[in-house]
């Protein structure tokens, strides 16, 4: 699986002392070779977000909420992150990009997220590649309320999220379900065995939906070493999740979401890459 990124992610959208910092991408680009991406266009963004949000991010400076800052380079970074996700779909690759996206709602940036890159990539695939059914599998430790909001009621996009609950942002509880929506809330301390058991429900839902493309919102903040959550997963679980995800659709791509321990993040991404690559090793190129 090719990695897609850009050196500019290491300087754009400075966030001061926030966990979501330029260093997250810097440590990954030191470890992995990558293909450079181009930015998404305004048209790409507007398939998922309102014109008002697009213009606000273009012009705003300062804190949008307690977690989310908008600087003079945030708009550039967010477009580049969307472009990385699009390029990942084009190549069946893995986008190493920031800021993350899955909390960004149609009309609101929040939770470190500006534009929802995985949603932008899904809509691009439908508009530009002519794909019909797209599934999004979100294993970030936080619920992707933005992705859920953008695709609410859309029969062509299945959203499946496994996340710690109750937890930020407070959504994704057991009663939030739909025809193309599956939330799997998990208690703090769930650990490897409980998580993998819950993942079976995610696999079953995606297989029933039979997508032409699976996009993975690949957060690594459910790891035991992450400072922001308590699901307590091991490194090896991410290898297993990626391996299983690789078997769920004819096309698979991934987009980095959370993961805030700079010491563990490169190893976690490497584990996921090994998992995604195991399908190619066993079945040949797709």
Active site residues: 103
In three-state secondary structure terms, 47 is coil
- DSSP assigned state of 8: G
Task: Quickly count: other Cβ atoms within 10 Å of residue 277's Cβ.
Answer: 15
Pairwise CA distance, residues 2 & 243, whole Å? 15
Q: Which residues of 67-95 are buried (b: 16+ CB within 10 A; e: fewer)?
A: bbbbbeebbbbbbbbbbbbbbbbbbbbbb
Helix (H), strand (E) at residue 105 = none
Cα-only R_g, the chain: 17
Task: Quickly count: other Cβ atoms within 10 Å of residue 51's Cβ.
Answer: 11
- DSSP assigned state of 262: T
């Amino acid at each position: 699986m090719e990695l897609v990124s850009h050196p500019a992610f290491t300087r754009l959208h400075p966030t001061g002392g926030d966990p979501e910092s330029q260093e997250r991408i810097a440590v990954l680009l030191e470890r992995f070779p990558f293909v450079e991406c181009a930015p998404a266009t305004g048209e790409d963004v507007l398939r998922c977000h309102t014109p008002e949000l697009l213009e606000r991010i273009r012009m705003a400076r300062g804190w949008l909420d307690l977690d989310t800052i908008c600087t003079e380079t945030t708009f550039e970074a967010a477009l580049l992150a969307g472009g990385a996700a699009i390029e990942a779909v084009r190549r069946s690759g893995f986008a190493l990009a920031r800021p993350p996206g899955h909390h960004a709602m149609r009309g609101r940036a929040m939770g470190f997220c500006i534009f929802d890159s995985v949603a932008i990539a899904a809509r691009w695939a439908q508009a530009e590649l002519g794909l019909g059914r797209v599934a999004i599998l979100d294993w970030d430790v936080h619920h992707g309320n933005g992705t859920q909001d953008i695709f609410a009621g859309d029969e062509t996009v299945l959203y499946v999220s496994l996340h710690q609950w109750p937890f930020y942002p407070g959504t994704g509880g057991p009663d939030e379900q739909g025809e193309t929506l599956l939330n799997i809330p998990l208690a703090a301390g769930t650990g490897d065995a409980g998580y993998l058991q819950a993942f079976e429900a995610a696999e079953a839902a995606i297989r029933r939906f039979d997508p032409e493309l699976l996009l993975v919102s690949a957060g690594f903040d459910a790891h035991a070493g992450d400072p922001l959550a308590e699901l307590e997963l091991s490194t090896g679980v991410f290898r297993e999740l990626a391996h299983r995800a690789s078997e769920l659709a004819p096309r698979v791509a991934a987009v980095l979401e959370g993961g805030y321990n700079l010491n563990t993040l490169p190893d976690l991404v490497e584990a996921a890459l090994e998992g995604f690559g195991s399908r190619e090793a066993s079945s040949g190129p797709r």
